[in-house]
Amino acid sequence: MRELLVRVSETAILPRYQNLTQSEIADKGKNELVTVADREAEVMLAEGLGAILPGLAIVGEEASEADPSVLDGLSQQCWIIDPIDGTGNFASGKPPFGILIALCEGGLTQAGWIYDPLEGRFCHAHRGEGAFIDGERITARTTGQTPPIAGISTLFMEDGLREKVQQHIAPHYSLVDIPRCAAEQYPRLALGTNDVSIFNRTLPWDHAAGVLWLNEAGGKAARNDGSEYRVDEWDRPGLIGAASPSLWDELAERVALIS
């Protein structure tokens, strides 16, 4: 897997970093961009993953944008691909951005990989086997700060919910900017950079790999009601990530008050 991600990065992604023309960037709407690098990387990843485990459904972000029926594969054993997570950053010529790959079955992630092409950081996890960075097993750690540090964006929240977050949640945390890149945000929750995050949109290519990896590291990522994140419930809003179960519980109690 690492060889595949490195090859795709060096072939389709990094040569276009800070080197895109305007004609190679398109607006998909809803604050979402796509570049020629996204599309080329997804094709390469799909081919490579098909060679690793032939016959599985492949659910790619860009393929599903072009053909929504691709999402039907989420109910099967499937690969999920986000060829460039953080496309907005990538298109602007700045970090962070990354590749997210998940292997899912029965609606649950069984394995996940998060690759940072600029830093070469390779995160991976298999269900029940722990979380790893560059081959070393890691354990999630908090920032140790009081109040806890929260990476929370209200960008995709409705106005009423945005106001409630500012009134009832923000005063209890030290709010920091989010990277607009799940491939960076999940590692931040495990590596002592952020303590908690709230995710409103829960698209499978953004969260399938990171949720498993953070949980395997000893943190906690789950739906607001504590239920397990399922990739076949991608249109269901609300997900909380935290560096520890206790931090998750504290934030979930506050979220429940505004839901």
- 80 annotated ligand-binding residue: no
By the 8 A CB rule, do 136 and 121 touch? no
Q: Per the annotation, does 85 bind a ligand?
A: yes
Q: What is the pairing mode between strands 149-152 and 196-199?
A: parallel
Token pair in block for residue 95: 């970090």
- Token pair for 235: 């249109």
Neighbour count for residue 76 (Cβ, 10 Å):
14
Q: Is 38 annotated as a binding residue?
A: no
Do the Cβ atoms of 73 and 104 come closer than 8 Å?
no
105 assigned to a ligand binding site? no
Residue identified by tokens 């906690």 is: 220
Of 59, 85, 61, give the one whose Cα is nearest residue 74: 59
Q: What ranges in 78-226 are assigned the alpha helix state H?
A: 87-91, 159-164, 182-190, 204-216
The verdict on whether residue 61 carries a ligand-binding annotation is: yes
52 three-state secondary structure: helix
Annotated binding site: 61, 82, 84-85, 206
Which residues does the annotation place in the binding site for Mg(2+)? Answer: 61, 82, 84-85, 206
